[in-house]
Structure 1
Amino acid sequence: MTAPCPGKKGIFSLSVEDIIHTGGLILYLAVVFLPAGALFCLSFLSYVQDPFYYLEYLIPDIRQFSLFFTSIFLSFAVSAGTMATGFFAAVFLWRTKIKILANLKWLIFILIPVPPYVYALSCSSAAGVAGVSFTGWTAVYFVYLISFLPFSILICLLGLASVKSDFIDAGRIFSPDGEVFSKIIAGLSKPFLIAGGIIIFLLCLMDYSVPSLYSRSVYPLEIFAEYSSSGDTSGAFLMALPLVFISVLLVLTAVRYIKEISWEFSKNPDHSINQLKFPGYVNYIKITAFLIAFAGVFVLFITLISETGSAGLFFSSVTNAMDNIRTTIVICLISSVVCIPAALAVSKELIKNHKYSNLWWILVLFPLVLPPPLTGMGLISLWNGFMPFVLHGTLIVPVFALLSRFTSFAVIILFVFSKSGDTLLIDAAQIFSRGYLDSLKGIILPLLMPGIAGASALFFALGLGELGATLIVMPPGEATLTMRIYNYLHYGGSETVAGLCLFMTLLTAAAGLIVLIAIKRDNHSERYADD
């Protein structure tokens, strides 16, 4: 009788590791794609039953064409302006020798998850105090620019950190510093800049909260208005297809550039970029970009604190909204924990870099192609029509809405942590441990804990500001903190809304601080391992 080969498995034989990993992948695919799949099936069936009626949704009228191209132009302008400003601000922060200014980037980073509507309130308040008119598309553009700038600076700093000093030193031998900066530094940072710009473009394209605050219409708001007036999910989905088509093309482009990133970063502050000498006008641009970023942070806190009035009014606003705060925290906590198994499994697929890794990157970025209201409509279609048990009308559906929208961001955080860490201990644990569960409990989870904490905290912070999907799926009588704030922003209550926006900022900043601590701890562990 022939002894079996070590490690060989039968067709139906799965190890514990395979079962856990497969379960995580199934969880991710289910929470992300089931709502979109249900919406697609429902729309297809409706179109087949009455093609002439739904054909009008596929052919936009003149007004819808105008809104569509307005949204495209706005998103492009915001993306280009934000990435350009963020790049020069990042160069300033990377080169500065003033420690206080260099450390300011950490404050900027923890404000990345702050919702754009909070910046809308702070900018409008500051403009009112200064006696400056702050309305229309100018206000919409500036609010988006300020709100996406922290994310842009982070992406650009990662791009700068990915440039090896040897390339800069070699380039300075044969070319002037200006060419080294434009061809080597900016050139090697291009994958980060393009991928980051595409993400900002898509986030802006799918959002309607800021334009609606300034009485401006965009195409996603038209989709939401159509669903609100008719309740026709199929018509709303067909209307959204132009947005989805553009977004899919951009996601495919982003994946191409993401695959070019090495994910190896320099942590040395004495980078060769510090020795480059720029023309005077470039220095002015860098300082101006940094001042814009600093002003956004400064104005955010100063206006919210001054508009709140006093500590008593702040606590009164928070106390009156305690039911909404409790609901929001419960939903975000549950979903931020549930997302981790799925994020771990998918990030592992991305790390493998096999022939399907491009497909997995597309699946990870898929939530960016779907307008948030469609996620809510898909969940209603799923739980109220396709599933044998009805969850529509419960708080479980908002949990699924957050999972569908933000699990991808947890995947990316865990992927970056895993790529920047040392996997030798994990490989050794899988070889010498008594079983996968032992290595998971003793080695893998402790090593990945900073990444898990960071991914969960970022998910929690993003969930706090979610509006588009939760606005549709929240059960009657329930509302999140963002829904309450958004209502106040439209109908008044300046002191109350300022207090709630300040509380939202502090809450999201606290979650961002957890992400920052996780990054610091991961870097410390990596240096300790190297020693």
Structure 2
Amino acid sequence: MRLPRWVVAAAWMTFALTALLPLGQLAWDGLRGDGSWDLAPVQALLLTESQQRLFANSLLVAGGASGLAVAIGVPFAFVSERTDLPGRRLLGLAYLVPLLIPPYLHAIVWSRLLAQNGSVNRLVQATLGLGSAPLSMFNITGVVCVLGLAWFPLVALLTKAGLRAVDPSLEEAALLRQGPRRAIAGVTLPLVAPHVLAGAILVFVFAIIDFGVPDILRVRVYAVEIFIQFSALYDQRGAVVLALPLLVATLVLVGVQARLMRGRAYVSLSHGVAGVRRYALGQARFPALLCCWLILALSVLVPVVTLAIAAGAPGTYARVLEPALGSLGMSLLLALTAAGLTALLAFVIAHSLLRARQGPRAGLHYLTQVPFAVPPILLGIALIGLWNRPATGWLYDSVAMVVLGYVAHFLPFAICVVHAGLQQFDQRLEEAAWLAIPGRMRITRLIILPLVRGGLAAGFLIVFVLAMGELGVTLLVVPPGVETLPVRIYNLMHYGAEDAVAALSLILLATQLVLCLLALAVVGWKRGASR
């Protein structure tokens, strides 16, 4: 069954206007100089030593963060999903909490802890009798550690989805013939490898396009230089041309990631696969449990406790919250609006992809992933160049610009999540529904939507969390007089208001956590009521 053509056409048109048209604007700005075609600046800039150094730094940051996320996320996912680890149910939820903490907040925390006069360096100096601070976060290693800790849940999330998709009979046969270690190495891990590699690519792309962490830790990478080129030097074309190598690299990686995950689930809201053998850890149970909780302590407990200490007395929260209520409300409004629109568009586009002919399907699916490769700063520049015109001034001067940025940036991932969810249920249910229920929209509402509720909820929550903490696009396109909570935190940080930054960061985290728990509870309640 296909959705009404006008619904599908409207969804694809919206996708083209919000996500693809800005990319066309980028190409136009990069290739047009002073109103005429000019490729010389592009060719010259691509060969500069500065360009090569920026590219090397960006690759080191992204590659290191991706490797660290895999080294943490894959073992964490395996021991919490496929072993007799105590408390694995709790760990299976707790590992998602770091996603609620935007990476730039991790950077703020660790730059404070490992400052020259920070508590960690003072402790190490006192213990070892050193005369100077031995540790520093203001380098590439610091950026790698922050981004790896912040994004490892993405790798764990995809690895868990892969483990839940493995056919238990294959593992059972390998266990009977080869034993646990060979079964894991020879069967389980190869079957999960596409999910692991896709997770590594996701982290790589998120890291290479990140602006906040390198900016806070003062490391020169592409995203920071693009922002400086545009905001400080007012050189829009220079910023676009500067980003070309980065854009090409991310486009290739996104294509590889889309091919790897074609037909595979990105996330799963279930608690696991029934009847799957759990490997006995034996004497390794305690070390494995300790490592898991140590990871969560570094990625959740340390940031939260550090922010709580920096915030100081409880009165700080009331003092900073009152003037920030408008910013918090604006963040919630924009994030919820963007998440709702994105989930709706993702469902229609993913459903149309599933019903498309085999030939154009792969090309269309890759097309939906292209905007994910665009750095947020570059996307903001494209939106400005596209909509900052007299005819569209009414749109450019409104908060709708921020929503457009969020939808354009996060829609590709939501499409992947919903598309994978749609592939999990039997299409014959739709065909049977035609015999009993008249009307395509009624079949969609009564049959399809309830069956893909989990995928829609996952896509909505992921977009909501990412939008609540988004900084790169928001800094460029938010209209004058409007402020989101991340922008307020970012501005206060540069004024040295550490207690206000810490208190507002905890308020942002608590707000996201409460709303996500409520959403998961509603999804779980509806799922139970429908059985």
For Structure 1 versus Structure 2, the TM-score category normalised by the shorter chain is 0.7 to 0.9
TM-score (norm 1): 0.87
Distance 1:28 1:122, change over 3 A: same
Contact 1:208 1:220 in 2 (8 A): yes
- CA-to-aligned-CA distance 1:379-409 (integer Å, 9 cap, x gap): 1111124966652222221111111111223
* Alignment size in residue pairs: 512
Q: Which residue in the other structure is 1:379 paired with?
A: 383
Distance 1:81 1:61, change over 3 A: same
- CA-to-aligned-CA distance 1:33-61 (integer Å, 9 cap, x gap): 11111222233332772627634664242
What's the offset of the Cα at 1:144?
Answer: 1.0
Q: Which residue in the other structure is 1:106 paired with?
A: 93
Select which of 288, 305, 308 maps to 1:305. 308
Amino acid at match of 1:117: Y
What's the offset of the Cα at 1:105?
Answer: 2.1
Q: C-alpha distance in 1, partners of 2:325/2:432?
A: 49
Select which of 170, 183, 187 maps to 1:184. 187
Amino acid at match of 2:78: V
What's the offset of the Cα at 1:233?
Answer: 2.2
* Structure number with higher relative contact order (C-alpha < 8 Å, ≥ 6 residues apart): 1
Q: C-alpha distance in 1, partners of 2:228/2:40?
A: 18
- CA-to-aligned-CA distance 1:432-473 (integer Å, 9 cap, x gap): 222223334444444445544443333222111111111111
Does 2:75 match 1:85? Answer: no
Q: C-alpha distance in 1, partners of 2:326/2:212?
A: 23
Does 2:488 match 1:488? Answer: no
Give 1:48-127 correspondences, 5 Å limit.
Answer: 49=36, 51=38, 54-55=41-42, 58-97=45-84, 100-127=87-114
Distance 1:204 1:379, change over 3 A: same
What's the offset of the Cα at 1:203?
Answer: 0.4
Q: Which residue in the other structure is 1:436 paired with?
A: 440
Select which of 195, 208, 211 maps to 2:211. 208
Does 2:155 match 1:152? Answer: yes
Q: Which residue in the other structure is 2:483 paired with?
A: 479
Does 2:154 match 1:164? Answer: no
Pick which of 124-133 and 455-464 moved more: 124-133
Does 2:241 match 1:251? Answer: no
TM-score (norm 2): 0.87
Contact 1:57 1:238 in 2 (8 A): no
Select which of 345, 363, 366 maps to 2:367. 363
- Cα-Cα RMSD: 3.0
Give the fraction of aligned pairs with identical amino acids, expressed as a percent.
24
Q: C-alpha distance in 1, partners of 2:64/2:167?
A: 31
Task: Could you tell me which runs of 5 or more consecutive residues in structure 2 were left unpaired when the two chains were aligned.
Answer: 125-134
What's the offset of the Cα at 1:426?
Answer: 4.0
- CA-to-aligned-CA distance 1:7-64 (integer Å, 9 cap, x gap): 9xxxxxxx97221122112212221111111222233332772627634664242223
Q: Which residue in the other structure is 1:46 paired with?
A: 33
Q: C-alpha distance in 1, partners of 2:522/2:353?
A: 21
Task: Could you tell me which runs of 5 or more consecutive residues in structure 1 were left unpaired when the two chains were aligned.
Answer: 1-6, 8-14
Q: C-alpha distance in 2, partners of 1:338/1:122?
A: 33
Q: C-alpha distance in 1, partners of 2:505/2:239?
A: 31
Q: Which residue in the other structure is 2:137 paired with?
A: 135
Q: C-alpha distance in 1, partners of 2:274/2:294?
A: 21
- CA-to-aligned-CA distance 1:76-114 (integer Å, 9 cap, x gap): 111011112111111221245455343122122244243
Does 2:216 match 1:229? Answer: no
Distance 1:306 1:63, change over 3 A: same
What's the offset of the Cα at 1:186?
Answer: 1.0
Does 2:320 match 1:317? Answer: yes
Q: Which residue in the other structure is 1:347 paired with?
A: 350
Q: C-alpha distance in 2, partners of 1:511/1:30?
A: 30
Distance 1:268 1:429, change over 3 A: same
Q: C-alpha distance in 2, partners of 1:313/1:205?
A: 35
Pick which of 52-61 and 351-360 moved more: 52-61
Q: Which residue in the other structure is 2:129 paired with?
A: none
Does 2:269 match 1:267? Answer: no
Q: C-alpha distance in 2, partners of 1:371/1:17?
A: 34
SS in 2 for 1:136: coil
Distance 1:158 1:238, change over 3 A: same
- CA-to-aligned-CA distance 1:228-264 (integer Å, 9 cap, x gap): 2332322211111101111121122112211263789
